[in-house]
């Protein structure tokens, strides 16, 4: 549909005061979408179903409707959701939201000066892992059902100061409540979250007092001011009272293995020269993990499966094993992966890697002075979108299969200068190859050499053209002609290959 035709429809008098607008089953470009978003009002409903939305779309009004349904929500970023104000419902189906996005939203919701949305639902592309979702947040699990509760900052004047978080059948639901609002459970039992709200107030007060006590203790470490000592004692007294109230509630926070016990295990003589270490099914804190990472060697294997790793964990040795498997990989950042050197295999389960990070990894791999890893696999929390994954990279699609190839910078002395990228059953796999052994990719390597040479010459020509615009030096003109000649020859070679460029990727016709 053209923007002009779409504009004619939207300016029809019958649509002037519309309450509900539904767009179904088709495609829509950014210009047409902008026309829709300009009509946003907080009493209007917008449902877009079965209609693809440009992946890089953004409009400040996209979440300023009363009730919103976006079937294709891959374009939605956390920045969109933070614009919500007094909305009733937002429902997202195909989205790219990851753990840290949800964590950011909840923290923003807690300190917001206004109610944001009554119901936010989205299809889960990540598993429901409380350590990641609720990192740094006081959370109470409800007695009556598998619901997690968070309270808004009590200094904010909010009508709906309770947020419930649930996940059923892969659908997340965040719902805000008035603390006295009633609802039905188990048929006819009418209840509210009032008692849970009181508990959350206590837990948040305890956390706040603990923070104040830490701050004043730091000051006292450098200055024994009597007023500060007095203030510290007052805070300690308040904290004691609140802690006693919390203790009376019989709440539990599940703990993992202690560092001391773990250290005893790792210092056992039998483990001194271990080749493979597996940690399965449990919890582990940062201190224990640090003990493991300090034992990293390039000939050792580390597999951590079914074991939760702190969301903000970092250690410089985390990827210095020969073979690494992290089932829980939500803590893994692109900075970790860029430390890889001469590793054999890295496999990640659930993770928060996004398109731009995979793109960064590939670009870093191309210009790296050393081979990084033979095989990198990870569970996909993103779709395989070539324009995003390969932005700014010369890529060739294989003739024989759904495999994409990238070549290392030929000025680097690399044993494995070809990288293949595949995605099957939601799993990404990046594998580096020697061009002449096993499954030979020698022909693909030659084509990539030509394509990269063409790109390099085009870049040089662009630079020299800029110089000539300010100074028509004859030596520069001569150099330009040489480059033009080289580029013409390479372009003819490329043309003879019958390649086509689609969505940022070269492939054979």
Cα(265)–Cα(285) distance, integer angstroms: 15
What pLDDT is stored for residue 184 in this prediction? Answer: 67
pLDDT(144) > 60: no
Q: Percent of the chain beyond pLDDT 70?
A: 89
- Looking at per-residue pLDDT, the higher value among 4 and 444 belongs to 444
pLDDT of residue 359: 94
Q: If residue 150 lies in a helix (H) or strand (E), which one and from where to where?
A: strand 148-151
> Which of the two residues, 17 and 187, has the higher pLDDT score?
17
pLDDT 10s digits, 497-507:
777 788 778 87
Write down the pLDDT at residue 187. 54
Concatenated DSSP letters for 444-488? HHHHHHHHHHHHHHHHHHHHHHHHHHH---HHHHHHHHHHHHHHH
| pLDDT tier, 281 (very low <50, low <70, confident <90, very high otherwise) | low
pLDDT of residue 410: 86
What average pLDDT does the chain have? 84
Residue 339 or 492, more confident: 339
What mean pLDDT is predicted for residues 30-52?
Answer: 89
Q: Express each pLDDT in 194-242 by its tens digit.
A: 888 888 888 889 888 988 888 888 888 887 778 888 888 888 888 888 8
How many residues can be counted in the chain? 509
Cα 241 from Cα 238, distance rounded (Å): 5
Predicted confidence at residue 185, as pLDDT, reads 60
Long-range own/partner contacts, residues 25-32 (CB < 8 A, 24 or more apart): 25/49, 25/50, 25/51, 26/1, 26/50, 26/51, 27/51, 27/52, 28/1, 28/52, 28/53, 29/3, 29/54, 30/54, 30/57, 31/3, 32/1, 32/3, 32/6
Q: Which residue carries 């000051």 as its tokens?
A: 219
d(CA 89, CA 386): 32
Q: d(Cα 402, Cα 410) in Å, to the nearest integer?
A: 25
Each residue's pLDDT tens digit, 337-385: 999 999 999 999 888 888 899 999 999 999 999 999 999 999 877 788 8
The per-residue pLDDT for 397 is 86
Dihedral, CA of residue 243, residue 282, residue 320 and residue 287, to nearest 10: 30
Strands 373-379 and 276-283: unpaired
Which of 255-259, 289-293, 298-302, 310-314 is predicted with the least confidence, judged by mean pLDDT?
255-259
pLDDT of residue 180: 83
Q: What is the pLDDT of residues 393-439, one digit of tens each?
A: 998 988 767 889 998 998 888 999 999 999 887 789 999 988 766 45
pLDDT digits (tens, 9 = 90+) for 71-101: 999 899 999 999 999 999 999 998 888 888 9
* Band of residue 26 on the pLDDT scale cut at 50, 70, 90: confident
Lowest mean pLDDT among 289-303, 312-326, 436-450: 436-450
| Position with higher pLDDT, 472 vs 155 | 155
* Other CB atoms within 10 Å distance of the CB of residue 240: 11
DSSP 129: -
Residue in 98, 148, 104 with CA at minimum distance from that of residue 125 = 98
- Confidence band of 334 (pLDDT split at 50, 70, 90): very high
Flag whether pLDDT at 151 surpasses 80: yes
As to burial, measured by CB atoms within 10 angstroms (0-12 exposed, 13-18 middle, 19+ buried), residue 372 is: buried
The lowest-confidence range among 32-41, 113-122, 433-442 is 433-442
The answer to which of 18-32, 74-88, 94-108, 462-476 has the lowest mean pLDDT is: 462-476
Q: Please answer whether residues 10 and 36 qualify as being in contact, where contact means their C-beta atoms are separated by less than 8 angstroms.
A: yes
The β-bridge relationship of strands 505-508 and 499-502 is antiparallel
pLDDT of residue 46: 92
pLDDT in tens, 160-177: 999 999 888 778 999 999
pLDDT at 473: 75
Whether the Cβ atoms of residue 134 and residue 167 lie closer than 8 Å to each other: no
Number of neighbouring beta carbons within 10 Å of residue 138? 19
């Amino acid at each position: 549909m053209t923007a002009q035709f779409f504009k004619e429809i939207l300016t029809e008098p019958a649509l002037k005061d519309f309450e509900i607008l539904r767009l179904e089953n088709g495609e829509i470009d950014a210009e047409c979408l902008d026309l829709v978003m300009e009509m946003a009002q907080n009493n209007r409903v917008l449902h877009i179903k079965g209609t693809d939305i440009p992946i890089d779309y953004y409009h400040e009004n996209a979440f300023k409707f009363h009730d919103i349904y976006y079937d294709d929500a891959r374009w939605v970023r956390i920045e969109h959701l933070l614009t919500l104000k007094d909305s009733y419902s937002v429902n997202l189906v195909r989205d790219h939201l990851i753990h840290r996005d949800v964590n950011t939203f909840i923290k923003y919701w807690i300190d917001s000066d206004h109610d944001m949305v009554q119901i936010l639902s989205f299809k889960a592309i990540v598993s429901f892992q409380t350590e990641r979702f609720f990192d740094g947040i006081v959370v109470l699990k409800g007695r009556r059902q598998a619901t997690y509760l968070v309270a808004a900052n009590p200094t904010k004047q909010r009508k709906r100061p309770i947020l419930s978080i649930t996940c059923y059948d892969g659908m997340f639901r965040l719902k805000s409540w008035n603390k006295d609002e009633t609802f039905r459970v188990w048929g006819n039992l009418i209840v509210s979250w009032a008692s849970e709200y009181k508990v959350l107030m206590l837990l948040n007060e305890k956390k706040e007092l603990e923070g104040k006590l830490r701050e004043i203790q730091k000051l006292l470490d450098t200055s024994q001011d009597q007023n500060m000592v007095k203030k510290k004692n007052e805070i300690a007294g308040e904290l004691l009272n609140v802690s006693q109230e919390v203790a009376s509630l019989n709440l539990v926070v599940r703990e993992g293995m202690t560092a001391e016990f773990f250290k005893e295990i790792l210092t056992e003589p039998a483990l001194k020269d271990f080749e493979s270490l597996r940690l399965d099914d449990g919890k582990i804190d940062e201190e224990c993990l640090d003990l493991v990472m300090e034992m990293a060697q390039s000939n050792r294997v580390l597999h951590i499966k079914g074991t939760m790793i702190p969301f903000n964990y970092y250690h410089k040795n985390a990827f210095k094993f020969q073979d690494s498997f992290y089932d829980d990989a939500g803590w893994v950042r692109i900075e970790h992966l860029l430390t890889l050197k001469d590793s054999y295999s890295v496999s990640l389960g659930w993770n928060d890697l996004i398109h731009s990070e995979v793109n960064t990894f590939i670009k870093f791999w191309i210009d790296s002075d050393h081979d990084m890893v033979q095989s990198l696999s990870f569970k996909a929390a993103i779709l395989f979108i070539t324009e995003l994954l390969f932005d700014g990279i010369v890529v060739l699609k294989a003739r024989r299969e759904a495999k994409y190839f990238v070549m290392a910078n030929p000025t680097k002395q690399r044993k494995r200068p070809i990288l293949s990228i595949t995605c099957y059953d939601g799993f990404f796999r990046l594998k580096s190859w020697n061009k002449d052994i096993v499954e030979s990719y020698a022909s693909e390597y030659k084509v990539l050499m030509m394509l990269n040479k063409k790109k390099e010459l085009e870049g040089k020509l662009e630079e020299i053209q800029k110089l000539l615009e300010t100074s028509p030096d004859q030596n520069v003109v001569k150099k330009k002609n040489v480059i033009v000649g080289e580029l013409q020859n390479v372009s003819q070679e490329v043309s003879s290959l019958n390649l086509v460029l689609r969505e940022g990727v070269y492939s054979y016709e």
